[in-house]
Structure 1
């Protein structure tokens, strides 16, 4: 086997998502398996260069994982001709400027979403990357979840017949931070720092709906801040200026309707933290992070509304579990492997910066819809 080293500047890996999912469960996991086998006698060996603002955190992270390269000087790292890829998992407000620098330096770009704070900036990144001829991709991890892969299998196999509607429930209670530590960083709840559940989650819903059911062509949303006062990492109270819940209706090009509730102020009474129910003329399915259950029209019961008598049917027991039929790797790692193959072999990679811009656009229009109390068309984006 011939080893092809790909050096990756990883910016923002001292944060929860960048550290756990991208560094540990993706890049380091690929190294632990001996690299990425390309199937042609070559193995891609990812070599991370940790980048961030906090020197002590970078040094400790590198020590913990046996890595030797880290820097607080992004410009110097991007000027290094041996660095092939720039990856960004920073706070949203810092992302677009860093990606512009990386593109100008000729680096391939892989980034978390949202790619920018507004649609114009997100489209600008896509145009710059295309003009520079660099490869580019955006993390769209939920497409690789076992539950949604099973759901995609059902869609592709025609299980649903005509798809009528999609209903999604996402969220959990994020502690305020006063008597229990919050599970999310405080910047998530400050609009001035790029926080808010709409800019965080609507880009996810855009690509999930787009890839499984078709393009979103209209949006109506109600956005609110249910918990207006929270406590930060130092135990100090602050005003939550960003939205923590959003209730969206998405019109799909096919004519189907999707309704998705997103909330960091809801207590979980469902099997998984996110679930989608898809109803079609021939059958229905409920998919979560890992599981997926179905009910075909031939096995659909005949409930009768009768508020004067107790329910006699166990409705959940009337659904059938969809088998795995395959092994499912970590979704972040699976997409990293596809992106590395895209960089080295130029294999197709559809989840690019233009796809990322669609997510930013949907978030922007969702916020506008809520502020103005009206429905908005979602124009198709092009470069």
Structure 2
């Protein structure tokens, strides 16, 4: 049996995420290790074709990593029969058009989130893919990171008993760009370019909650633009028109209450840039992207409120580290492996464009809640 060489058009690899996580740490790493094994004993070997707007950047990346094919002409790649998959990690507001062209060309689609600007557009893309007999995938990388995999193991093992609440804290200080360069591109802060922390992060929160706990059934949110003036990559000042922070209460279908704060205007006083604390009747846990700590009902200390005395309890030391119990590969790579294998098997792949649309549904509900100052229920279904 011959291995399957799969042409993968990668559009947007000159960006930080597309380059580091998707090209170098996923596709090139998979190729270097001989591909993804299939049940029939063959392997899928991805062969990247780099696509982008900058000829200079593409050539430099290709030469550095030994990639033979690159182009600034997307249509030429989509018309190439040796290319089977189109991957998109461009900025959000140009993704939908490129995906439509790729579907029309008969390519399977794998894309960063959000897959479109709106839930309606994402659902339309999902239907286009399905009607064409193609397969789709949307990046949901947090599910494959060590900390959340350990958290999921605790949930599946019944460690928490009845889960009561989830509290998430995400964010860090993004420099304004005046006296120190910003760590995020300026389009993130322009609503007209698809920016905003709700559109960026709430699709993440949706799939994390959905796959580890339960789907979100209602949201109450407050969005904010805490830093209204920033300096762009070219050194010129601009007005931030998108939200840079959001504070949300999310009700889950199983009765669990989640609270998640998301902010690019917060200084970090936690072990990781994102942490989730889960409290249940039988135990609690705090999970980040890599680590997870737990405390059972039997080992919970007796706390008493006494404002007149210094706190004597070493609370952080009373939690137990959850062991790896296995080897964890890069989270982006792991989902790529699942998607590439999915193209040649009948196994289900729950991280498709409909899943991406559900993430946008939550983002839009949060935007509506903030604008109208009310709780917004989220319909179940597609």
Q: TM-score range by the shorter chain?
A: over 0.9
Which range is displaced more, 277-286 or 49-58?
49-58
Q: Which residue matches 2:205?
A: 205
Using the alignment, how far apart are the partners of 2:67 and 2:347 within structure 1?
Answer: 29
Native 8 Å contact 1:228 1:239 kept in 2:
yes
**1:34 pairs with 2:34:** yes
Tell me, yes or no, if the aligned pair for 1:137 and 1:351 is still in contact at 8 Å.
yes
Instruction: Identify the range of structure 1 (247-256 vs 54-63) with the bigger mean alpha-carbon deviation.
Output: 54-63
Across the two proteins, how many residue pairs are aligned to each other?
382
Query: What is the deviation of 1:346?
Result: 3.3
- Cα offset for 1:44? 1.3
Query: Is 1:315 aligned to 2:297, yes or no?
Result: no
The answer to whether 1:80 aligns with 2:99 is no
Q: Which range moved further: 275-284 or 56-65? A: 56-65
Is the counterpart of residue 51 in structure 1 residue 51 in structure 2?
A: yes
Partner of 1:179: 179
The answer for the alignment partner of 2:170 in structure 1 is: 170
Farther off after superposition, 210-219 or 226-235 = 226-235
Matches within 5 A, 1:115-154: 115-154=115-154
Describe the superposition over 1:106-137 as per-residue Cα deviations: whole angstroms up to 9, x where unpaired: 11000000011111101101111111110111
Aligned to 2:254: 254
Distance 2:263 2:173 in 1: 8
The one-character-per-residue Cα deviations of 1:74-125 (angstroms, maximum 9, x if unpaired) are: 1121111111000000000011111111111111000000011111101101
Deviation at 1:39, TM superposition (A): 4.9
Give the structure 1 partner of residue 23 of structure 2: 23
Structure 2 CA distance for aligned equivalents of residues 18 and 251 of structure 1: 33
* Aligned-pair Cα RMSD in Å: 0.9
Which stretch shifts more, 227-236 or 138-147? 227-236
Q: Quick check: 1:336 aligned with 2:336?
A: yes
1:349 corresponds in structure 2 to: 349
1:41, distance to aligned residue in structure 2 (A): 2.8
Structure 1 contact 2–41 (Cα < 8 Å) conserved: no
Q: Which secondary structure state, in structure 1, belongs to the residue aligned with residue 235 of structure 2?
A: coil
Question: Deviations along 1:202-253, whole A, 9 cap, x unmatched?
Answer: 0000000000010100011000011111111111111111110000110000
**What does residue range 253-332 of structure 1 map to in structure 2 within 5 Å?**
253-332=253-332
Ranges in structure 1 where 5+ consecutive residues have no aligned partner: none
> Does the CA contact (< 8 Å) of 1:169 and 1:260 recur in 2?
yes
Matched, 1:196 2:206: no
Deviating more after overlay: 162-171 vs 78-87: 78-87
* Offset at residue 42 of structure 1 (A): 1.1
Please name the residue that 2:373 is paired with: 373
Q: Residues of 2 paired with 1:125 and 1:278: CA distance?
A: 35
**Superposed displacement of residue 344, structure 1:** 2.0
> Offset of 1:65 from its aligned partner?
1.0
| TM-score between both structures, scaled by the size of structure 1 | 0.98
Alpha-carbon shift at residue 3 of structure 1 (Å): 2.1
Partner of 2:5: 5
**Alpha-carbon separation, structure 1, partners of 2:6 and 2:285:** 41
2-side partners of 1:61 and 1:248: how far apart? 40
How big is each residue's C-alpha offset from its partner over 1:298-341, in whole Å with a ceiling of 9 and x where there is no partner? Answer: 11111100101110111011111100010000000000000000
Gaps of 5+ in 2: none
TM-score (ref. length: structure 2): 0.98
Distance 1:136 1:227 in 2: 37
Shifted more, 73-82 versus 300-309: the winner is 73-82
How far off its partner does 1:381 sit? 3.4
